[in-house]
Structures are given as C-alpha cells and as structure tokens.
Amino acid sequence: MSASSPLARLKTAARRLERDVDALVVAYRDPRVPRAARVVIGLTVAYALSPVDLIPDVVPVLGVLDDLVVVPFGLWVALRLVPAGVIEDARTRAAEAPGETLSLRQTGFRIVLGLWVGLVVLAWVVLT
C-alpha cells in the first residue's frame, strides 16, 4: 500500500480528527476559550455522543452521512473559534495525558446518556 493510497489518507485523517477532538476536550476547560467556542464544542460533542441523530442511522447512506458532515463541520468551526495558541497548548496537553481526555469523554457520554434517559422517563410520565 503506497503512502498516498486512499486508505492511508483516510487513516491519517482519522488520526488527525482524533487528535483535534482530544485537543478540543482539553481546550473546553481552558478559561482563555471564548464562550462561543465552548458552545460549539459542547453541541458538537453532545451530537456525536447522542443516540439520536438528525437522520436516523437506519436510513441507508443518509443516516451515516449526517454524522460524517455535522460532526466534522462542528469540529472545524470550533477549531476556528479557539485561539491558535490555546489549541496548540491543548494539543500538547492532550498528547501528554491521554487518560485525561478519555476520562472527560466518558464523563460527557454519561451526561448525554443521562439527559436522554431523563427525557424518555419524562415523556413516559407525561404520556401515561
């Protein structure tokens, strides 16, 4: 497989995406990050972790396509809203302490899952 094969480019893009997600997770907690960036980061991460999508995954092609467009677009916007020096610091910190970003991702997942469970319970109580 050559270095410029489609699979190699896809793997490189996936590694870059993971690195940027980790950096944004760390940057979110940095006081130098503007509020607008925090909102975009929070919404993007919540959408990525949410079991509910704009288009359900069971819809052929379109169900997965929304994830392939919405999440990278949200990350792209967030990366532009976070000051360059802050994102570089966050990338360094994320690379030095991968356990911290994993812990924060797990916490985010638990929060989103808890919100959805709460909404389902509330809907059940209201509708019955």
**pLDDT tens over the chain, length 128 residues:** 555 788 888 788 878 888 888 888 888 889 999 999 999 988 887 777 776 777 777 777 777 777 788 888 999 999 999 999 999 999 999 888 777 666 766 777 787 788 888 888 999 999 98
| pLDDT for position 38 | 92
Q: For the whole model, what pTM was predicted?
A: 0.67
Where helices occur in the chain by DSSP H, the ranges are 6-28, 35-49, 62-81, 84-96, 98-127
CB 2 within 8 A of CB 8: yes
- Report domain extents, the chain: 6-127
| pLDDT for position 83 | 95
Residue with tokens 């610091």: 89
